Each structure stands twice: as structure tokens, then as C-alpha cells.
Amino acid sequence: MYLDPKKYNLNSRVLIEEKSPGHIAIVVKRKSRVIMKDGVRLLEQAKAIQKTTPNIKVSLETYAPICSKTKTFLLSKNINTIIK
């Protein structure tokens, strides 16, 4: 089920899906590679979600390949990746 991004003070184009209670995924629906610039943007979105709802797990869900540097960066910030 998709959630309203305005609740988390995010842009209305951001897709947020509730995976389970206490776990939210930021969904990126595109075919092009997720690069470091996207990773920094995703980290800011995750921080905004955690600021609104503390103690919630945030993941990235995507169909696109993820740059290895970006994947390492996100994991170091406790953001897991789910590749569909």
C-alpha cells in the first residue's frame, strides 16, 4: 500500500510503500542505473521519514541496477536495497 509523501514533508512524486508495520520502502520505478547522486537524495528522503516517524526502518526498492559505490553508501547509512 502506497503512503502519502506529504505526510513526511516529501515531494508528491516520491513513491513510498509500507512493507510491514515499522518498515517503509522508497520506490524508484525506472530502468536507468541508480547512481551516487540519487543515493544522496534518497538518504535525505529517508532522514525526513525518520524525523517524522522515529524508529522506522527505511529501504530502497527498485527495478534498476544500483551502482556498487551507492549500494555501499546506503548500507553504511542503514538503508537496505530491495531489487525486484
Amino acid 16: pLDDT: 97
Q: Where are the domains of the chain?
A: 2-83
CA gap 35, 17 in Å, rounded? 21
Amino acid 69: pLDDT: 98
CATH topology of domain 2-83: Transcription Regulator spoIIAA (3.30.750)
**Global pTM?**
0.93
Kind of pairing between the strands at 2-3 and 15-20: antiparallel
- Tens digit of each residue's pLDDT (9 = 90 or more) over 5-60: 999 999 999 999 999 999 999 999 999 999 999 999 999 999 999 999 999 999 99
H or E segment to which residue 44 belongs: helix 36-52
Amino acid 78: pLDDT: 96
